Amino acid sequence: MPHSPGHDRLSTHEVTNQPEARGDLDLWAGDTVLRDHAAAAGADMAQLADFGATIGTAEMRALGRDANRQPPELVLFDAGGRRLDEVRFHPAYHRLMQAGLGAGYAAIPWEGARGGHATHAAMVYLMSQVEPGVCCPMTMTYAAVPALRADKALLEAWAPKLTARLYDPAARPLALKGGATMGMAMTEKQGGSDIRANSTRAERDGDHYRLTGHKWFCSAPMSDGFLTLAQSEGGLTCLVVPRWLEGARNAIHIQRLKDKLGNRANASAEIEYHGAIAHRLGEEGAGVRTILEMVHHTRLDTAMAPAGLMRAALTEADHWVRHRSAFQKRLIDQPLMRAVLADLALDWEGTLALGMHVARAFDGQDEAARAFARLGVALAKFLGNKLCPGLVYEAMECLGGMGYVEDTPLPMLYREAPLNSIWEGSGNVICLDILRTLRREPLAGEVLAAELATVAGQDRRFDAAMRAHMQTFPDLPDEGQARFYVESLATLLTGSVLMRHAPGAVAGAYVATRLGAPRGRVAGAVAGIDTGAVLARLGGGAD
């Protein structure tokens, strides 16, 4: 139905100074920054144009709100007492899943076209602006494909269904489905990130295994299969656990759904394996090495999602301040508001630019690109996710009390903001992974040094920051300084990417306020930003 405005002349007052609803949004055409960095990364611009125009409509955004307000429901038994162990979702969830998978969210990188991972990364960014929860099962489906290469038979059985550009939520075996999704069940309560402490057992039973044990987190428990880790005779092993069997349900019992802060449209569960059938993926004892292929690719999405959340929050704030007046002036015309928004916009563009630059390395074919992807994605994940919650909060504050009300997207975005820093390696884990990569893979450090050297001599402030970093860290630091080191390195890398692919005013403002003179600790506590040039990148114009 076309939008019809509400009555603004009420019996007690007239509604004024309230921004109109934003209506349909073209998330691609309205985002100059995304178009610039997607082009630099070699993404498929035509596919992104179609997806951005579709996913940003008022209808799609309403589906996102419905999927969040009507959380998944756990149904353990049918009316006769038979075990079901199913999760039921609001219809909006299913429509959003079809929109994403149908557009190629999980398929594009594996279809052989140029720039597949960069295109996928941009889709993560776009989808995260509308409904971040559905990204979780789609991301794991995308990331499972390279892990499945450890076994030819499993790859041939699963990959065509995971990349089918079709969402099929039916509870039936893989062979009977047009499309499939893949989840993950790794962590246990006694170990968390220390997956070597897992105690779930995998016992050989003919050509497959039987699993017994408990998993503290199972992401997307209605997936058609799960990658899981269990202790076999040969050590910690990776296995594929089908959700549905021929004529039966696999012995995967859902204990409860997690009552999470955010990510409400998506279900996360505790599960138990009661002799569940599983198929080994890779060699016994090689579970960590095998699952890391999946983790590596999910980390790309956790580096891109915060950029999408930032964009969604900032555009809400930007719309508000351009259509709201206080003290006889539009909010956007007040210098302090401009300073705050421009400062926030630099973190958003830096996060997006670095994420897309890393995605380009995922599309690379040589060992140097692969080495940079392993290191770069960890740097991008760490920095972007540490910046995201503060940015969303500041955008919320721009709306005042309305920003705290569920009628706006800001509360949902705020609940979502911490998630991607926790998922697939929290901040400390990521920092230790970065140190480990630099110690074990000299090529990764060499490629990073070359990346930073590409802009040497272009800005004296950047050069000075590089020298200061090298003086502070002539060698790799000990663990106690890992966060300091990683933040410094990730900020330098972001600055170098902006210097290559963003307008000079934006890159210069980022370098000046993040790498140059001292600044305050809060948003807007900066000087020397060309607010007009920076805010023009946000999409509202330079006025």
**What number is the average pLDDT over the span 455-462?**
97
For residue 269, pLDDT over 80 is answered with: yes
Yes or no: say if 475 and 503 are a contact pair by the CB < 8 Å rule: no
Continuous segment of H or E residues that includes residue 228: strand 225-232
Q: What single letter denotes the amino acid at residue 485?
A: Y
Count CB-CB contacts under 10 A for residue 27: 26
The pLDDT mean for the chain works out to: 95
pLDDT of residue 407: 94
Class of the domain covering 32-285:
mainly beta
Q: What is the pLDDT of residues 290-307, one digit of tens each?
A: 999 999 999 999 999 999
Q: Sign of the CA dihedral 111, 114, 117, 119? A: negative
pLDDT of residue 2: 47
In angstroms, the CA 356 to CA 304 distance is 8
Q: Partners of 239 in the beta sheet?
A: 228, 280
For residue 426, pLDDT over 80 is answered with: yes
In angstroms, the CA 186 to CA 226 distance is 9
For residue 247, pLDDT over 70 is answered with: yes
For residue 354, pLDDT over 70 is answered with: yes
pLDDT of residue 86: 97
Q: What single letter denotes the amino acid at residue 5?
A: P
In angstroms, the CA 382 to CA 434 distance is 10
Burial of 119 (0-12, 13-18, 19+ CB in 10 A): buried
pLDDT of residue 153: 98
Q: What single letter denotes the amino acid at residue 247?
A: G
Q: What is the pLDDT of residues 386-423, one digit of tens each?
A: 999 999 999 999 999 999 999 999 999 999 999 999 98
Count CB-CB contacts under 10 A for residue 381: 32
The CATH superfamily label for domain 289-538 reads Butyryl-CoA Dehydrogenase, subunit A, domain 3 (1.20.140.10)
For residue 375, pLDDT over 90 is answered with: yes
**What number is the average pLDDT over the span 360-383?**
97
Strands 225-232 and 235-242: antiparallel
Q: Partners of 228 in the beta sheet?
A: 185, 239
For residue 10, pLDDT over 90 is answered with: no
* Segments making up each domain of the chain, as ranges: 32-285, 289-538
* More confident: 527 or 377: 377
For residue 541, pLDDT over 70 is answered with: no
Residues near 132 by beta carbon (within 8 Å), at least 6 away in sequence = 262, 263, 305, 308, 309, 416, 419
Determine what percent of the chain is predicted with pLDDT higher than 90.
Answer: 91
**CA–CA distance from 256 to each of 72, 270, 446, 537 (Å)?**
11, 6, 47, 45
Phi-psi region of 425 (alpha: psi -120 to 50; beta: other; left: phi over 0): left
For residue 543, pLDDT over 60 is answered with: no
For residue 519, pLDDT over 70 is answered with: yes
**What number is the average pLDDT over the span 268-282?**
98
